[in-house]
Amino acid sequence: MPTVKVADLKDGDFLLDVREDDEWQAGHAQGALHIPLGEFVARFGEFTEAAPQDGRVHVICRSGGRSAQVTMYLVQQGIDAVNVDGGMQVWAAEGRPVVDARGESGFVL
């Protein structure tokens, strides 16, 4: 499983959040693309339009389980994808900004 630590992510890295809507609304990384795991295959076209053509996709969820599933799917499609180790829990614990659906300070649900 290709994995990356939160500390290794840089501003501008493409981040795909696969958590559920309520989790996203409570708090997410600003600028991330949100497609819940259960909708991912049906919304794959939306993902391919937004994802960088020659760049890496960093997949995140709450702790790393759901994002691992999507990462493996993307790798099987020939996409350079990595799972963000520890997910949004580690993101928040390391002091990375978390915003809610209104763009205000959020929290990880």
Nearest 10 degrees: Cα torsion 63, 28, 82, 94: -70
Q: How many residues does the chain have?
A: 109
The C-alpha atoms of residue 97 and residue 77 are separated, in whole angstroms, by 31
8 is catalytic: no
* Of 18, 32, 59, 61, catalytic: 61
Task: Please report the sign of the dihedral spanned by the C-alpha atoms of residue 86, residue 105, residue 100, residue 81.
Answer: negative
Residue among 34, 26, 83 at smallest CA distance from 57 = 83
Q: Which residues are catalytic?
A: 61
